[in-house]
């Protein structure tokens, strides 16, 4: 746990940690979980395996990586096979392909970079996106809601 260069808190936990004698800068983690928060954002990244580089404040994650990125009211959930969390830069990056979803739709891409402090995520390479329209914004005739009908002759 600590505070990054911009004063935002972060926390890294794991079910188990292994540090090789004489190598203080590298800690192997089992079931790591990293949480970073910004002004209006929160990012939680989990994986089965990880390596924390204490000198650089970088967490390399592998094997079943899940990223939950909340910006305001919206939460995005992405999965990938590997990702790098840079505490100082407040970023999460993956170059191994990513799939994700939110209440707004689904997405796939070859690469992803989430900027926690800015509340944005950039996707690159073969980006495919499906956006679900907001029912409240559709014209009345396209919704499943029917207006109250007047009673006819009986």
CATH 2.60.450.10 for domain 2-134: yes
Selection from 25, 78, 77 nearest residue 51 by Cα: 25
Q: Is 82 left (phi over 0), alpha (psi -120 to 50) or beta?
A: beta
The domain locations on the chain are 2-134
Residue-wise pLDDT for 46-105, tens only, equals: 999 999 998 998 999 999 999 888 877 788 899 999 999 888 888 889 999 999 998 889
The residue-averaged pLDDT of 116-130 equals 88
The residue-averaged pLDDT of 119-130 equals 91
Residue-wise pLDDT for 90-121, tens only, equals: 888 999 999 999 888 999 999 999 887 777 88
User: 35 and 8 in contact (C-beta within 8 Å)?
Assistant: no
Count Cβ atoms within 10 A of the Cβ of residue 151 and give its class: 0-12 exposed, 13-18 middle, 19 or more buried: exposed
DSSP code, position 25: T
């Amino acid at each position: 746990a600590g505070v990054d260069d911009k004063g935002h808190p972060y926390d890294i936990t794991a079910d188990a940690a292994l540090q090789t004698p004489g190598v203080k800068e590298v800690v192997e983690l089992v079931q790591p979980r990293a949480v970073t928060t910004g002004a209006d954002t929160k990012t939680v990244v989990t994986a089965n395996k990880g390596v924390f580089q204490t000198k650089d404040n970088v967490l390399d994650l592998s094997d079943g990586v899940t990223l939950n990125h909340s910006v305001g009211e919206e939460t995005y959930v992405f999965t990938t096979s590997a990702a790098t969390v840079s505490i100082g830069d407040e970023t999460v990056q993956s170059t191994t392909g990513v799939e994700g979803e939110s209440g707004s739709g689904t997405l796939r891409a070859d690469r992803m970079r989430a900027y926690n402090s800015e509340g944005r995520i950039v996707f690159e390479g073969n980006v495919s996106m499906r956006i679900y329209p907001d029912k409240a914004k559709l014209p009345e005739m396209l919704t499943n809601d029917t207006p109250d009908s007047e009673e006819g002759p009986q």
